[in-house]
Structure 1
Amino acid sequence: MTKMKAETTPTKDAGPSMGRRRFLTGAAVATAGTLAMPQISRAETINWRFQSTWPQQDFFHENAAEYVRMVNQMSGGRLNMELLPAGAVVGALEVQDAVIAGALDGAHGVTAYWYGKNKAASLFGTPPAFGWDANQFLGWFYQGGGEALYNELLQDVLGLNVTGYLTGPMPTQALGWFRSEISGVGDIEGLRYRTVGLAADLMNELGASVTILGGPDIVPSLDRGVIDAAEFNNPTSDRILGFYDVASNWYHQSYHQDCEAFEIVLNKSNVDNLPEELQAILRYAAFAVSSDMYWKAQVRYPADYEWLETEGGVTMHLTPQEILDAQLDAWDTVIENSTQDEFFNRVIESQKEFAQKAVAYHLIATTPKEPAYRHFFGELPLSRRS
């Protein structure tokens, strides 16, 4: 691809609130009777193209839009990011290459989409099920050494001209959408199943035939019978994308993607050329949109779950315990098969050291939630005992 540089265009420079001069077509127009104006420096607007890996109607594209809005607003117009949906420039699985080449200045996706370059990439998006949740995973990234390892992978191990941030904690993802009911591992064997990243290796260990697809391609593939089952992410996204039209059985709880976070990937040269205050805005906007998405999910996910069950005709299931147990065993194999790679092994050891302490404290310090729920609200909507 031809390398494209970020464009710069002049912006209007506002003077003091009293006696403000307006600039028309780039020229200063002085008010009659006033003194000549002093020379005023003009700021530049830096224009970036930023593509998401999600369909325009998806909840995740909305998250990307919020990030862009925050950056544009906090920069006061000095950095103007234009948001594009998946496929506008490149497909969902190709955005990192487009950012490297300069065809895009940045993108919103997940690291699992480029784990083909190095399997350790998935550790920064869909890590093993060490008992942690997505907020604890982000704690490892920003406070436990993960960010330094992420940049080491990108810039030193792979030699790529990119940098980025993790954002948007995602809760445990469902095992997925199935046309027929499943009762154990035997029903997974030979199943044509969609997932991404190390979850693909894990489901292969359970006997599935895994196909890696970007978000926009999943439902059409299910509809045409190219795949038999698939997971994407959450009730809101899955409802918007129309999974309930092509499969009626949805299995909740799984260790294949027990926690996940988004990636905001940026062209490193462009970031390095920004003033420090704009670099800070890019980083802190990633923190802010992380909370924004998590809080919205507390309202949106339960409402869309209820709609899918009551209006969408979906039969809700809990994943059989036999499959959950097999997934944990499969994680052992996936990790063992990859730890001969020195960098992968270092990331795993860093994550395990963090999770062992953080999760242990959480389990000790946090009161069980299910008894409190049952005390005030009664039985859970789904129960293994029902």
Structure 2
Amino acid sequence: MDRRAFIKKSATVSAGAAVASALAAPAIAQENPKITWRMTSSFPKGLDTIYGGAEDIANHVKEASGGSFVIQPFAAGEIVPGMQAADAVAAGTVEMAHTCSYYYIGKDPTFAIGTAIPFGLNARLTNSWFYEGEGNTLMNEFYAGHGLYALPAGNTGAQMGGWFRKEINTVDDLKGVKMRIAGLAGKVIEKLGVVPQQIAGGDIYPALEKGTIDATEFVGPYDDQKLGFHKVAKYYYYPAWWEGGPTIHAFFNLQKFNDLPKNYQAILTDACAFANTNMLAKYDAKNPVALKQLVAEGAVLRPFSQEILEASYNAALSTYAEISASNPAFKKIYDNQLAFKKDAYLWMQLSEYTFDTFMMIQQRSGKI
């Protein structure tokens, strides 16, 4: 081998590598810029499972970006009150929020469909509608009109029907009851004589204790036990027909999200999907333990009667018809979800329902 030719060639390769390296560094820097965002939650840190969804997002984004994209989560009230989280995002006060879409039905009842509507979908079908149906597309078309983009980032599963100071056996027993209840459920149950109240999670206990309200719903056994509702209202009803599988969303300022590098958008999308799955898994594991503890501490479990469920269902259909008559955005998304629901529950009758029913019989007979 010609030694001089080899040295010359090596020098040329080294120079080329140096140039490539110099060019690659700024390109990588452009793809992975140092970005810090703030995320305001609608939940207190004490509710570790539902607030934990925000922490899951932040942790995954930081790790996946090698620390270049950092999201700082803040509990309700640290930047803005919990019920104003999405408003702060739209205004550009913060870049994102972890909140429930139905908290903002005062702006438009269509926001309710993003979380859950009475007699809507269970958790599994909610995810199917968002990810494989048209849920994400349709909701984000609507959110864009408010300067927002959103992704599912948590689900509690079917919730409990709430805590009442007195037994509720008939529809007449609901008349005059002042109840903290979120979303469109308030409008529906109002038709049955209930006086709905919108109160943030951290303010519910004192309102119930002082008698400002007579009943409340929140999530389920794990969170409800932490909030101590069983100490001031012992009757615990089920199910929450208004929240069969409610989604908690990550809301982003639309412009801020669009300005992110594509790889950061993908990282955020994946982080939210993990938070969505992980929250449901946590609730499914923690709720059974908490429920047994609540009963041991005096909670009295009661099912809503068939009369109440039927009356509530009819009131819900009436409410949807009224809103759809004057709100094209609501009608478009509601009709889409309704069509999805018809086929989805046809299948679940054959699959999930029959299997789960058999296994529940085994559990009740002591074979599990």
Q: TM-score normalized by structure 1?
A: 0.84
3-state DSSP class of the match of 2:312?
A: helix
- Deviating more after overlay: 290-299 vs 270-279: 290-299
The 10-residue stretch of structure 1 (67-76 or 271-280) with the greater mean CA deviation from structure 2: 67-76
> How many residues get paired?
339
Offset of residue 168 of structure 1: 2.1
Give 1:175's aligned residue: 161
Runs of 4+ in 1 over 3 A off after TM superposition: 38-44
- Per mean C-alpha deviation after superposition, the further-off stretch among 133-142 and 197-206 is 133-142
Alignment correspondent of 2:220: 234
Determine the C-alpha separation between the residues in 2 that align with 1:191 and 1:379: 39
Aligned-pair identity in percent equals: 28
- Distance in 1, matches of 2:195 and 2:298, equals 27
Pick from 96, 106, 110 the counterpart of residue 106 of structure 1. 96
In structure 1, the residue matched to 2:309 is 324
Equivalent residues in 2 for 1:23-42, closer than 5 Å = 41=26
Q: Paired residue for 2:125, among 112, 115, 136?
A: 136
Write out per-residue CA displacement over residues 154-191 of structure 1, whole angstroms, 9 at most, x where no aligned residue.
Answer: 22xxx322111123233222221011122111111110
The 5 A counterparts of 1:141-220 are 141-155=130-144, 159-220=145-206
Among candidates 260, 270, 281, match of residue 284 of structure 1: 270
Classify the secondary structure of the residue corresponding to 1:180: coil
Residue 145 of structure 1: how far off its partner (Å): 1.0
Alignment partners' CA distance in 2, 1:299 and 1:172: 13
CA distance in 2, matches of 1:291, 1:227: 33
More moved, 250-259 vs 99-108: 250-259
Contact 1:176-1:231 within 8 A present in 2 as well: yes
- Whether the 8 Å CA contact 2:117–2:183 is kept in 1: the answer is no
Q: Which is further off, 163-172 or 182-191?
A: 163-172
2:280 pairs, out of 291, 294, 316, with 294
Task: Give the gaps of 5 or more residues in structure 2.
Answer: 1-20
Q: Which amino acid aligns with 1:64?
A: A
Q: Which digits, 9 at most, give the CA deviation of each residue in 1:212-266, with x for residues without a partner?
A: 1121121121112111101001111111112122211111113122221111101
C-alpha spacing 1:379/1:229, structure 2 compared with 1 (3 Å): farther
Whether 2:44 is the aligned partner of 1:55: answer: yes
Confirm whether residue 378 of structure 1 aligns to residue 365 of structure 2: yes
**Counterpart of 2:283 in 1: which secondary structure?**
helix
Shift of 1:67: 1.7
One-letter amino acid of the counterpart of residue 211, structure 2: G
DSSP-derived class of the 2:196 partner: strand
Distance, in Å, in 2 between the alignment partners of 1:114 and 1:322 is 30
* 1:129 positional shift: 1.2
Mapped partners of 1:348, 1:230: distance in 2: 26
Q: Structure 2 CA distance, aligned partners of 1:303 and 1:125?
A: 26
> SS state of the match for residue 339, structure 1?
helix
Query: Hey, what's the Cα distance between the residues in 2 that align with 1:192 and 1:179?
Result: 11
2:105 is aligned to: 115
* Deviation string, structure 1 residues 31-81 (Cα, Å, up to 9, x no partner): xxxxxxx86556642111111101111021122211211112112111101
- Separation in 2, partners of 1:237, 1:376: 25
Q: Unaligned stretches of 5+ in structure 1?
A: 1-37, 381-386
Decide whether the 8 Å contact of 2:236 with 2:301 is kept in 1: yes
The code of the aligned residue for 2:361 comes to R
Q: 1:333 aligns with which of 305, 318, 331?
A: 318
Question: Deviations for 1:283-342, whole angstroms, at most 9, x for unmatched residues?
Answer: 1111111111122222101011111111x3211111222111111111111111111121
Q: Does 1:97 align with 2:83?
A: no
Q: Is the Cα–Cα contact under 8 Å of residues 202 and 256 in structure 1 kept in the other structure?
A: no
Query: Aligned equivalents of 2:33 and 2:155: distance in 1?
Result: 34
Q: Name 2:117's counterpart in structure 1.
A: 127
Aligned residue type for 1:92: G
Scaled by the length of structure 2, the TM-score of the pair is 0.88
